[in-house]
A and B are shown apart, each in its own frame.
Chain A
Amino acid sequence: MSHSSDLIADDIAGYLKAHEHKGLLRFITCGSVDDGKSTLIGRLLFESKLLFEDQLAAIEADSKKYGTQGTEMDFALLVDGLAAEREQGITIDVAYRFFSTDKRKFIVADTPGHEQYTRNMVTGASNADAAILMVDARHGILTQTRRHSFLMSLIGMRKVVVAINKMDLVDYSKARFDEIVEAYRAFAKQLGLEDITFIPMSALKGDNVIEHGHHMPWYHGPTLMAYLETVEVDDERLQRDPFRLPVQWVNRPNLDFRGFTGMVTSGTVKPGDAIRVQPSGKTSTVSRIYTFDGDLDEAVAGQSITLLLNDEIDISRGDIISGVEQPSQTADQFETTLVWMHDQPLLPGRPYLMKIGTQTVSATVTDIKYQVNVNTLEHTAAKQLDLNGIGVCTLSLNKAVAFDPYRESQDTGGFILIDRMTNNTVGAGMLHFALRRSQNIHRQHVDIDKQARALSKGQQPAVLWFTGLSGAGKSTIANLVEKKLHAAGQHTYLLDGDNVRHGLNRDLGFTDADRVENIRRVGEMAKLMVDAGLIVLTAFISPFRSERQLASDLLDDGEFIEIFVDTPLDVAEERDPKGLYRKARRGELKNFTGIDSAYEPPESPDLHIKTGEISSEAAADAIVALLRERQIIA
């Protein structure tokens, strides 16, 4: 069962030969220390890996000191390195451990069952071929079991082992085992988990872990190790699916060689195969599969390759090369399930970067259909997703991408969302299917364009985006600027925060989510006005960098002019022209910027006006001068 130590000592060449052909299985263990998870991993490591004597000595010493098994070796101590890390304030984590037998090398993703379980477990499971779910035979199916099972179904785990542990504490009772199996089956059916194997076990005593032992003669299934050594890995299943190669990097050392590199995520490919490139839809045939060690006759899922084609077609990073008959789909709107992974909540309307396969695009959640409670599986309405929240959402991209439904292909249907400002990975998601709506709304072509309209007005259209705290003086200065421009014969329009909230945006409140939507609408409206050739002045607190960035992204280069009206909070609060700060301080106004909601000042505004240093009049003059300088106005 273990490394054949005898073979190592007697015939190292034979041993190496045998181990060249080992496979690889990645699996995740779900459960808490109470379920005996660490004991199980420790036993697997111990039984199957030649532990070094200094490691064993350390564990032996620890067993005496901290162990829970008296004088017996406490296997859990082999793996519990995480407690100390948590004390150091390291929040995560997924720890990866390695062991191998004669048949396979194993990578175990071990996640602690504490409060961050959703993020960690989804992360650990995303790469796993199989999952071991630990159940304490005394307690049966618990809330935790349901939660772990739901997460496994969410991530599309194909192979699940329910390890019913601590059978020694229920007298190795077959009846108890059957009872738990039946209860779990009923529950798993709802989740769509299909390939489930139940193993009664005692990780502590070793029954049915490596060997069957003699306590449960009624059990005729595989031991856990036998299961792990033979269960089908994802790469092998994926070979039967249509060919996909997300292009990572185009290798062009000279004019005669153009290789498309990437990892085959599903299917197989041979020279001569017809392929289709998505999203462009162009077709060609494979001429060579190049590798450092010589050309291949065939490449399969899981291999990193370099593909050469017979035709010179335009292919770049982000494209997917597919088998011609069953190519990947393309779309720019999807129904997805999102798992939120960051303290900063998901806000609908806020643009995030989305990385799917080798493509990176801008994506916005336009609608949270519902949130799922991981414990009860209930659906509830939600305006935002908090850390570890799971929601079914509509996702809208700024351009079409090639994809497959996640259920069919994890590597071309799974994605992450990245915060544009912090660059953190804030969410992970799974594409279910494309929503076709936007594809049927074609843009209407018009003959008179922005340039023509602007020309007739003798100006370059632009948005003067005033941002700053409430009471900073945005409206005052914007008003002065508009008067000056008007007097000079320019065509302008002032969008004021308070005015817009009385009309267009009166359905919105002041939560973070509503603020994001408020600014999105203002941005879109400003864009229309710029298209009409106007110089638009907007006076909104617009506290978040990412929304100002969004408004800026809607416009062409040079059209967005950010003006930071910088008044210290105490000064603005002292002025308090609308009495809002006083209300906020009394707690009558929630989410008031500067009091209980953040203001993110611009990092490099086009103009930084310090109201403490210059008058509103001088500020307005400076803005007009800037417009002249930028040739917005003559």
Chain B
Amino acid sequence: MTTLTHLQRLEAESIQIMREVVAETENPVMLYSVGKDSAVMLHLARKAFAPSPPPFPLLHVDTRWKFRAMYEFRDRMAEEIGMDLIVHINPEGVEKDINPFTHGSAIHTDVMKTEGLKQALEKYGFDAAFGGARRDEEKSRAKERVFSFRTAAHRWDPKNQRPELWKLYNTRKHKGESIRVFPLSNWTELDIWQYIYLQNIPIVPLYYSAERPVVERDGTLIMVDDERMPLEPGEVPMMRKVRFRTLGCYPLTGAIESEADTLPAIIQEMLLTNTSERQGRVIDHDSAASMEKKKQEGYF
């Protein structure tokens, strides 16, 4: 008798989901956000289709405001694995120079991320998109399906989601409709970190503590990642030992002071820390029901 560990079973489930999508949809794509969950999802995709490379491209919906370390890491990964990387930046957003400073996080996210994603899916005709969201991220995600259906207008209709029994996923859809697929639904943050540790999966160095230039904004530490970060008159960024628990647009992502510069230390810090993961995301503070609303609008 072989007892499979929880990570082996989670891995097998994710792989089964990915193969099902590839077998039953016409033009799948993997949304690659460059974060740790994306790293695990990509690793699982390599396992699912080996020795072939995953039979779909990676799509990075870029906002132009990610950390530089993320861009470097993204390009290196795509090259190493030999997958096509599609980078989409909302051209209207570029034209209007949408940015988190002058337009605020809500508009920036809506235009660059939500609209950008819709544009990219339409432009390339993708009918299924893998995303790295997990059910443990917050209460409202606990009921989210693995296969989440979107209308042709990319809206998520909460009343029209399909029950998922056994390992059976109904992937049928009408022309123009698309599916978001979440192969990591049943993983927790701890599972993700433990899997990265055990499988030696490369992640963006920003997750590890290091001295980085930061300024304080409303009690949040924001990294001065490039010269576009507006400083107050006379402000001098300090070099502090910080790391990031989640990665996004640098002006919207809070750093935490930390000494954790190894994976075990990160896991230790996560287990002993006293605030949950999403607190670092400035985006959450915009409005209380923001997540639910964003999901309906097509943002993950």
Give the B-binding residues of A (Cβ under 8 A). 3, 5, 8-9, 12-13, 15-16, 19-24, 50, 52-55, 81-82, 85, 88-98, 100, 104-105, 107, 119-120, 122-123, 126-127, 235-236, 239, 248-249, 251, 253, 257, 261-263, 268, 290-293, 298, 300, 302-304, 306, 317, 341, 353, 355-356, 358, 410-411, 414-416, 418, 423-425, 428
A127 x B166 contact (CB < 8 A): yes
Q: Whole-angstrom distance between the alpha carbons of A406 and B225 in the complex?
A: 57
A9 x B272 contact (CB < 8 A): yes
Please give 19 more A-B residue pairs, beta carbons under 8 A apart, in addition to A119-B163, A123-B165, A424-B162. Answer: A5-B272, A16-B264, A23-B3, A52-B275, A53-B274, A55-B276, A92-B161, A96-B142, A97-B142, A104-B6, A105-B188, A249-B22, A249-B23, A292-B50, A358-B20, A415-B168, A416-B165, A424-B170, A425-B163
Known contacts A123-B164, A263-B12, A54 near B276 by CB under 8 Å: yes
Label chain A's interface by main secondary structure: mixed
For A50, the chain B residues whose CB sits under 8 A away are 271-272
Of the candidates A8, A268, A300, the one whose C-beta lies within 8 Å of that of B268 is A8
Residue of A nearest to B140 (CB): A81
Q: Whole-angstrom distance between the alpha carbons of A415 and B15 in the complex?
A: 20
Ranked nearest first, the 7 interchain pairs of A and B with the lowest CB-CB distance are: A53-B274, A24-B6, A304-B15, A105-B6, A126-B165, A12-B268, A292-B50
Known contacts A16-B194, A52-B274, A304 near B19 by CB under 8 Å: yes
Give the A-binding residues of B (Cβ under 8 A). 1-13, 15-16, 19-20, 22-23, 46-52, 135-136, 139-140, 142-143, 158-168, 170, 172-174, 185-186, 188, 190-191, 194, 197-198, 264-265, 267-268, 271-276, 279, 292
A89 x B159 contact (CB < 8 A): yes
Question: Would you give the shortest CB distance from B174 to chain A, in whole angstroms?
Answer: 7
**Contact sample, A vs B, 24 pairs, CB 8 Å cutoff:** A9-B268, A20-B5, A81-B139, A88-B158, A95-B142, A97-B136, A98-B135, A98-B136, A98-B186, A235-B4, A249-B22, A261-B48, A263-B167, A292-B46, A292-B47, A300-B4, A302-B4, A304-B12, A304-B13, A304-B48, A411-B167, A423-B172, A425-B170, A428-B165
A89 x B5 contact (CB < 8 A): no
Residue of B nearest to A253 (CB): B52
For A355, the chain B residues whose CB sits under 8 A away are 168, 170
Residue of B nearest to A259 (CB): B51
For B167, the chain A residues whose CB sits under 8 A away are 127, 263, 411
B10 x A24 contact (CB < 8 A): yes
Question: Would you give the shortest CB distance from A151 to chain B, in whole angstroms?
Answer: 13
Question: Would you give the shortest CB distance from B149 to chain A, in whole angstroms?
Answer: 9
Residue of A nearest to B279 (CB): A54
A22 x B6 contact (CB < 8 A): yes
A425 x B162 contact (CB < 8 A): yes
B2 x A291 contact (CB < 8 A): no
For A268, the chain B residues whose CB sits under 8 A away are 2
B143 x A93 contact (CB < 8 A): yes
Q: Whole-angstrom distance between the alpha carbons of A72 and B247 in the complex?
A: 38
Q: Whole-angstrom distance between the alpha carbons of A55 and B276 in the complex?
A: 7
For B161, the chain A residues whose CB sits under 8 A away are 92
B265 x A251 contact (CB < 8 A): no
Q: Whole-angstrom distance between the alpha carbons of A122 and B165 in the complex?
A: 8
B51 x A253 contact (CB < 8 A): yes
Q: Whole-angstrom distance between the alpha carbons of A97 and B186 in the complex?
A: 9
Most buried by A among B49, B164, B170, B265: B170
B163 x A303 contact (CB < 8 A): no
Known contacts A53-B275, A303-B8, A94 near B143 by CB under 8 Å: yes
B191 x A105 contact (CB < 8 A): yes
A251 x B172 contact (CB < 8 A): no
Of the candidates B6, B46, B159, B173, the one whose C-beta lies within 8 Å of that of A90 is B159
For B15, the chain A residues whose CB sits under 8 A away are 263, 304
A263 x B9 contact (CB < 8 A): no
Question: Would you give the shortest CB distance from A504 to chain B, in whole angstroms?
Answer: 34
Q: Whole-angstrom distance between the alpha carbons of A92 and B273 in the complex?
A: 34
Of the candidates A126, A300, A317, the one whose C-beta lies within 8 Å of that of B2 is A300
Of the candidates A85, A93, A235, A298, the one whose C-beta lies within 8 Å of that of B9 is A235
Question: Would you give the shortest CB distance from B45 to chain A, in whole angstroms?
Answer: 10
Known contacts A52-B275, A249-B19, A423 near B166 by CB under 8 Å: no
Question: Would you give the shortest CB distance from A56 to chain B, in whole angstroms?
Answer: 9
Question: Would you give the shortest CB distance from B23 to chain A, in whole angstroms?
Answer: 4
Q: Whole-angstrom distance between the alpha carbons of A300 and B51 in the complex?
A: 21
A423 x B12 contact (CB < 8 A): no
B12 x A302 contact (CB < 8 A): yes
Q: Whole-angstrom distance between the alpha carbons of A291 and B43 in the complex?
A: 13
Known contacts A85-B143, A423-B173, A91 near B159 by CB under 8 Å: yes
B198 x A20 contact (CB < 8 A): yes
Q: Whole-angstrom distance between the alpha carbons of A3 and B272 in the complex?
A: 11
Residue of B nearest to A50 (CB): B271
Residue of A nearest to B189 (CB): A98
Q: Whole-angstrom distance between the alpha carbons of A373 and B263 in the complex?
A: 55
A263 x B16 contact (CB < 8 A): yes
Q: Whole-angstrom distance between the alpha carbons of A355 and B166 in the complex?
A: 11
For A3, the chain B residues whose CB sits under 8 A away are 271
For A122, the chain B residues whose CB sits under 8 A away are 165
Q: Whole-angstrom distance between the alpha carbons of A263 and B172 in the complex?
A: 21
A248 x B163 contact (CB < 8 A): no
For A23, the chain B residues whose CB sits under 8 A away are 3-6
Q: Whole-angstrom distance between the alpha carbons of A93 and B141 in the complex?
A: 12
Of the candidates A20, A22, A95, the one whose C-beta lies within 8 Å of that of B143 is A95
Of the candidates B10, B20, B47, B264, the one whose C-beta lies within 8 Å of that of A13 is B264
Q: Whole-angstrom distance between the alpha carbons of A303 and B12 in the complex?
A: 5
